[in-house]
Every structure is written in structure tokens, then in C-alpha cells.
Structure 1
Amino acid sequence: MATSDQVHRMATFWSNVLEGDGQIFDSAADFKKAIAKYAIAHKFGYRMKRTNPNMAKAVCDLHSCDWYICASVIHDTGCFRVYKSNLQHFHLAGYSTQHKTKASKTVVADVILDKLCDCSKYRPMEIVRDISREYGVRLSYQQAWRCRELATSLLVGLQEDSYKTIPWLCRKIKESNPGSVAEYTFEQDGSFSKLFIAFSACLHGFTEGCRHLLVLDGTFIASKYKGTLLVASAYDVDDGMLPIAFGVVPSESIDNWEWYLTQLRHALQYEIGDELAFISDRHTGIIQGLHHVFPGCPHAHCLRHLKENFKKYLKGRYNQSFKAAMEAQLDKIAYLRTMHDYEKNMEVRHKMNRSAHEWVIQAHPENWVIALFKGNRYDKLNSNLAETYNAWIKDARELPICHLIDTIRLKTE
């Protein structure tokens, strides 16, 4: 909390928001906001008393103090007019009310609205710091989070309302972008279930200008109702990223991946025998989904994720220099291009350590060793493109779902 002698420059603008009898406010909410701002500026606590749709009264938190203000609705207008007030405090000597100063969620949301509009990365801890420094009010992290959530809803609408517009948005995507795929499902109780979108330009770009290798990944959504974003992206001829299709599902389950991959197959108009390969981590949902939906399509496992698993296996088993040698050997094996070299290096590995050799065999080397891979992975051994996509849409993951969709659309153009 700010010190008592610190000048809270922003709060001084609120010192005269309450003028007394006869003052008119556009609504009861505006009247209550004015009281909250006035209390912050003058550093005292208050409580609302006898509040109903037609009348509101606020009094000082100190029971012996005569400060109060009353307002009532003006007939047929919705406006509130102050009809009685005493804006002079009577506090005993030595009594401090600064520790009672509080700010409502709506007031803080109003305060941070412009900053959030200018910087979507405005974080709760920054809100805690700024509100304390500029207004002398202490917020917890959770309070700041809720205030930020309210301010976001004022900017982009409520999360709940966003889900209701999905049918309309999907219809508009298909109308304005012929050839695009936009599919969704709802539960029996009317709640949102799953979404899949692939823009026609991205599908055409993949068919005509990309290597036929798709990188699959799932990442969490940080908005109020959470969920998971499933993504398929590809490398263009310059090794740049082209987003092909994305989906929103409750979680990375086998069923959800299978549903997403089924929509992807229809969007790509894939036929058995078409040249197509995939690369991803070894998530069970992806492995099972590809097996059922894209049978016969080669599936490469990301070497980076594999190495992380191997490090976990080695942890606590051997000394540091031996572990480094084993990890380097794993890297070397992954990049081998002939069966002769693969078999030769596996013999060396077997001599180095039999259990580490068995680990490699059980890790399905046919999915990550170039010499054993059945399809064309264009020397792409890692799913780094997934991390590129995650960074690309990082801030959008906190937005309501329709704004998330529109942000991806605008970035894709």
C-alpha cells in the first residue's frame, strides 16, 4: 500500500465528483461509482445502506461519523438525483480510515480500461502496482484478475455471449470465404462443445505451395471457460509457417483429436494414397486419432520431446558425462540416413549401455529416425512450428472465443 504522505496524483481528480444536494447522475450505477471514487480520493471507508432500484444511500464506515449521501430515481428517466447529503466527516483524533479505503471492481475496471485497450498484455500484477501507486488502494492478485476480466468484457463483450454467436460466425465465414470449412457442435443442454475452422486461402496455399507435412499441436486457452486449441500448420517453400486449420475443444482427449482430424481430412479432401505426413509430440490422442482417421499416413515424433523423455529416463542413473554421451548418440541416430549406418550405431549403443539401447527400441525409432521413416519429412525432426504458432496467437488465447477466431482470421490475411 502507498504511504500516507505519498501524492496519489490520479485520485485527486475524483475529490470533487460528489457535489451534494441536487446533483444528478445518469444511473444508480454511476452514482455508486462516484461514491467509490470520492472515497478513494478522500481516503475513507464507506458502506451502502438501504439500496433498492429506486433509492441508494451511502454512509461512512465509522458509525460515529455523520457523513452520508442519499439519492433517488427521477420518475421515468432512470437518472438518480441527490436529495439529501452531509459531506463533512467527524472522526475522532488519531482515527485513521485510510486502511479502509476500497475500490469496487467496476471502478478499477473503468480505470484500467484505456491501458488494457492500448496494451492487451496489461497483467494483474501491473494492475496491483498501478492502483496502489496512483490511487492508494491495495488489491490482491485475484481482485486485480477479476477487474481485468471485467474490463476485457467491457472492451470485447462477455465470454458467455461470444459462444452464442458461433453459428452466425461460422455461417458468415463460409459465405464470405467460399471454400472455407467452419463446423461446430453443441451439447444437448445447448452449451458449446467443439469448433473447427479452415480458411479457403490456407487450404489452397497448402495444396499448391507447401510441403505436404502437417505439424499438429494442442495448446491451452486462457479465457474464462478455458478449453484447448488444436492446430495444424505447415511449412511453405521458404520454411515459413502457414496455419492450415484450428479447432477449439474442451480438452486433448482421444475423442476430441479424432473429431478434429476427421474435420481436417474432409477440409483437405484427403484420399487414401495421397502424399501426406504428420509430425507432433507423442500425445496419445494424436497417435490414436491419426491411426483411425489417416491410416497409412506416416507420423513423425518430435525429436525434441523425445530427448526430454530420454533425459527423464537417464536422471539419477548415470554420471553427467555418460548422460551427455548417450544424449549425443541419440541425436546422431535420429539423423542417420541409411539402414547400414543405423544398425552400426545401434550396435555401438548396445555396447555402451544395454538398457539405454532397449529404451530406443521401445521408443519406436521408425517414427523419428530418418533412415527408418516411411514418408517424406523434409528433414524436419522437431515440431518447432507448433511453438511458432503458439507465440503467434499468445495474447489472443485470453479473448472470448469469437474474438479469438477473428484474431486468427486477421493474422492469416
Structure 2
Amino acid sequence: MIDDVIHSNSDYLPCQICKDFRQQYGMQLNYCQAWNLKEKAKERIHGVPQCSYKLLPWLCTRLIETNPGTIVEYRCSDDGHFMQLFVALSVSIHGFQMGCWPIISIDSSHMSGPYKGALFSASSYDADNGMFPLAYDLFSSKNYEDWLWFLEKLKMVIGTKGLFIVYSEVFGSENHAHCYRHIKENFSSFLTKLNTKGRKVKENALQMLDSIAYARLDCDYEVAMDTLRTFNHDLAKWVKENNPQHWAISKFKKMRWDKMTSNLAESFNSWLRHEQHHNICVFFIEHMDKLGSLLVEHKNGLVKWNGCIGPKIEEKIALNIGKSENYITYLHLGSSMKESNGKAFLEVDLMERTCTCKAWQMFGIQCDHACVVIR
């Protein structure tokens, strides 16, 4: 009676089933009866969950045969119980290597199907800053060994294109950037523990932390730190103790490409929100279907591009061009030019694609100073 509804809407809740049965059929169901009805309907639609694990080895073999270049690894325990499943489709691997930003967002979430488990994911940004799913891993649990196994498989996928302890073991700590949003939340919690009084005081402290995190030059970082130290010595101490080399732009030795948070990983979890309720084989197949639809959507979106850069990136460059309207440029040496924004002189080298403000080399997009020189 409810199979069609469950098939089209996996969020059909037992309480809503109770309400609909009362209105449509005059039947009074309790919550447990409605929940059992939903589970039986899901079995009729997707099959018995226990049997889905038996199909996994065959599905993995067929996926590799029909998609050359796909990396799939399935592991089970000595007694035959499921342990791990790693999947990186060839289209994702090729797409990442050919057109994605060299940055990966990694996260984990819980599966809410019949046998629970954990979903590990790796996503990147496409050429227009859209989400590009790269790989995922399903585990029966979530621990240090699982993370290590996932990251080792992921390293096989991404090669040399350029998360604590375990991340450092596989990729090196210098490649690990922390999510600034989580840093800021932890800083805010520490502020509360210090019993700082007044909303304005807390806002000022958070603004100072922003100045520290987003400072591109070492001198600006030190000025921001001195300001915070004057404001509250304990807060400055907290910053130093919480590894700013992993989240402050000026201290991170690699390029962050203007990506300060792990919101991308949360987008991936939201993208597969309904699928996480299903058994493992259904998830396996539905992920492929959704990935195919996403890539078709991205391909159709190319018609909106005016050139070789996407609308979102073009908008950022247009913003930088607008900022630079009143700047003055001076010829310096060779391909290098000096530019004045009214406050300081900055040097732009078009051949090396650098600016002394460091924004061009840090973010990979021409800064406002570079834009005025190019113009």
C-alpha cells in the first residue's frame, strides 16, 4: 500500500504513515507498526539487506570490467563478514586529474541503513568551484585503522597531484589544511570558558581571529597577533597552541586556493542524504546514478560559460577588476611592474604570475593588482 510512496520519498516517516492511514483508510496504527510497514516496503523495493552483501563481490568485478580505470577494493573478515569497500570511478579519477583544483576535502559520516557503519568521502572542486565527488569508502566501523586504509587507497587514486596523525602518515602534515570554520567554533567555545562579558567583546575577538587567519603576509599576521595579545593574552596563547601553520593563510606553506573551510565535504554528505538510509548494494548503484546525473548537469552548464573560465571564477575576477579601477601602474624591470593602490607599492610579475600581496600565488586567481597591470 505504501511501496510507491517509499520508492519516491525515502523520508516518508512512520508518524506520517500513521496519519495517512488514519485519514485514507480509517486505520489506527501505532508508531512501531508504521515503522515495520516502512521496513517491509523497503525490502520489497530494494531486497533483503542481508542478501545485499553477497552481491558486492560480483558488483565490484562488473564495475571494473565495464569501467576500465576504476579502482574498487572489497574486504571481508576471515569468517566472511563485510569490513570495507573502497570505490573510485574512472570518470572521477580522470576528471580530477584533468580539470579539478588540486585540493581535496575529506570527511566521514554515519550510514543509517539496517547495519549502520561509516561513510568516508573525498571530494574536490571542479573548474568553476562546484562539488566534484572523487572517492568514497564504506566501513563496518570507524577507527584509526579504517582512516589509514582509506587514505592509503585515496593516495593511489590521486597520485602526486598536489587530518591529524593518520593524515600526516599518508600525505605529510605540510599538506593538511584545517577547516577554519571548526577552528573558529573551538575558539568561540574557549572564549565562553574565559567568561568574557558582553557580546561586543566576543565579536571583537572573533574579528581579530579572522585577521590572523586571512592575513597573507607574515608582517600582517604578526600585527594581528599583537593586537589579539594586547586584547587578551590567553587568546593569543590559544592561537599559538592550535597549530596556525595548518589554518592561517600566511603560515600554511602550500596553496589553499582560497578554500578555508570543509563545507565541500558537508555538501557531499547532503548530496547522498537519502541514499545513506539504504542497504549497501542500493547505495553502491545509486551513487553511480547520482554521479552520472551530476556530471551531465555540469556538462550542460558549460553553455553558460563565456570563455575558458566558469561564471563563479569570472565573477571573482570581475570583482578584482572593479577594485583596481583607481590604481596606478609603473613599469619596473622586464615583465615586472609596480602598482600603487594609494597606500603602498606592490610588485606584479606577469611571467612568474606573482604579486607581493601573495594573493595571486596563494589563490591561483589574478588579484586586483595583477588585474590592473594586465589591463
1:293 partnered with 2:170: yes
**Structure 2 residue 281 is matched with structure 1 residue 402:** yes
Quote the offset at 1:120 in angstroms.
2.4
Q: Deviations over 1:190-209 (max 9, x none)?
A: 11001100001110111110
Following superposition, the deviation at residue 142 of structure 1 comes to 3.4
Summarize the alignment of residues 17-56 of structure 1 with structure 2, pairs less than 5 Å apart.
none
Provide the C-alpha distance between the structure 2 equivalents of 1:186 and 1:148, rounded to a whole number of angstroms: 29
Equivalent-residue separation in structure 2 for 1:371 and 1:142 (angstroms): 56
Partner of 1:358: 237
Output aligned runs, 1:209-248, within 5 Å.
Answer: 209-248=99-138
Are the aligned partners of 2:137 and 2:150 in contact in 1 as well (CA < 8 Å)? yes
Q: For residues 41 and 5 of structure 2, what CA distance do their matches in structure 1 show?
A: 10
Q: Displacement of 1:125 after TM fit?
A: 1.7
Question: C-alpha distance in 2, partners of 1:180/1:164?
Answer: 21
- Equivalent of 2:50, from 142, 160, 183? 160
Q: Secondary structure at the match of 1:315?
A: helix
Q: What are the within-5 Å matches in structure 2 for residues 5-404 of structure 1?
A: 111-268=1-158, 270=159, 274-276=160-162, 286-295=163-172, 297-316=174-193, 317-319=195-197, 320-404=199-283
Deviations 1:225-252 (A, max 9, x none): 0011100000011001110000001233
Pick which of 342-351 and 127-136 moved more. Answer: 127-136
In structure 1, the gaps of 5 or more residues are 1-110, 277-285
Q: Displacement, 1:117?
A: 2.0
Kindly provide the amino acid, as one letter, of the partner of residue 162 in structure 1.
S
- The count of aligned residue pairs is 290
- In structure 1, the residue matched to 2:316 is none
Distance 2:80 2:27 in 1: 41
Q: Deviations over 1:144-195 (max 9, x none)?
A: 2222111101101011111111111111110000000010110122110011
Deviations 1:46-87 (A, max 9, x none): xxxxxxxxxxxxxxxxxxxxxxxxxxxxxxxxxxxxxxxxxx
Q: CA deviation at 1:140?
A: 3.1
Query: Structure 1 pair 140/324, CA: closer, same or farther in 2 (3 Å)?
Result: farther
Rounded to whole Å, the distance in 1 between the matches of 2:241 and 2:288 is: 41
Q: Distance in 2 between matches of 1:137 and 1:311?
A: 51
Normalising by structure 1, we get a TM-score of 0.68
What is the percentage of aligned positions where both structures have the same residue? 37
2:289 & 2:149 partners in 1: Cα distance?
25
Given residue 196 of structure 2, which amino acid in structure 1 is its aligned partner? Y
SS class of match (2:102): strand
Letter in 1 for 2:166: G
Amino acid corresponding to residue 357 of structure 1 in structure 2: A
* Partner SS for 1:144: helix
Q: Show structure 2 runs of 5+ residues with no match.
A: 293-375
Question: Against the structure 1 CA distance between its residues 293 and 323, is the aligned structure 2 distance closer, same or farther, given a 3 Å change threshold?
Answer: same
Q: Hey, which of these two has a bigger chunk of helix by percent?
A: 2
RMSD: 1.4
Query: Residues 203 and 351 of structure 1: is their aligned pair in 2 closer, same or farther, counting only changes over 3 Å?
Result: same
What is the CA–CA distance in structure 1 between the aligned matches of 2:222 and 2:8, rounded to whole Å?
A: 58
Q: Is contact 1:254-1:288 (8 Å) kept?
A: no
SS in structure 1 at match of 2:177: strand
Amino acid at match of 1:344: V
Partner amino acid for 1:131?
F
Q: Using the alignment, how far apart are the partners of 1:217 and 1:128 within structure 2?
A: 36
Q: In the superposition, relative to structure 1, how do residues 232 and 167 fare at CA in structure 2: closer, same or farther (>3 Å)?
A: same
- Aligned in 2, Cα 1:329/1:164: closer, same or farther, shift over 3 Å? same
Aligned-partner Cα distance in 2 for 1:238–1:219: 26
Instruction: Indicate how the Cα distance of structure 1 residues 252 and 328 shifts in structure 2: closer, same or farther if over 3 A, else same.
Output: farther
Q: Which has the higher strand share?
A: 1
Aligned partners of 1:288 and 1:158: how far apart in 2? 39
Q: In the alignment, residue 182 of structure 2 is paired with which amino acid?
A: H
The one-letter code sitting in structure 2 at the alignment partner of 1:385 is L
Amino acid at match of 1:223: G
